[in-house]
Amino acid sequence: MLKAEVIYGDDLLDREVTSGFGCDLISDSLCYARPGCLLLTGLTNIQIIRLAEMVEARGIVFVRGKRPGPEVIELARQKNLPLLATNMFLFESCGILYQAGLRSS
């Protein structure tokens, strides 16, 4: 639906996702993201993996064509966290997932 490329975790894509959360602010993500969510963000630094672990996210979709560096991908591999990337904007990506039935955190 998002025309996303799998950066890491082809074998992890069958995980159940209970909600979606789109944000580029770590503080808001910590407050509002819920366990089991799919994170959508333009943040590509190492903190996004640590955040995903803290909120028990099931995966991360990087938007706006952003791609994480090798150290971020390696940490995601260690944490068994699937990473995807789409050229779509955050708003558009969230809207598509919402229309498909994924609800917000």
Mind listing the pLDDT tens digit of every residue in the chain (105 residues)?
999 999 999 999 999 999 999 999 999 999 999 999 999 999 999 999 999 999 999 999 999 999 999 999 999 999 999 999 999 999 999 999 999 999 998
| 8 Å CB contact between 53 and 97 | no
Give pLDDT, residue 105. Answer: 84
CA angle 43, 35, 98 (to 5 degrees): 70
Give pLDDT, residue 7. Answer: 98
Q: Strand, helix or coil at 51? A: helix
Residue type, 44: T
Cα distance between residue 93 and residue 21, in whole Å: 11
pTM: 0.96
| 8 Å CB contact between 62 and 19 | no
Give pLDDT, residue 68. Answer: 98
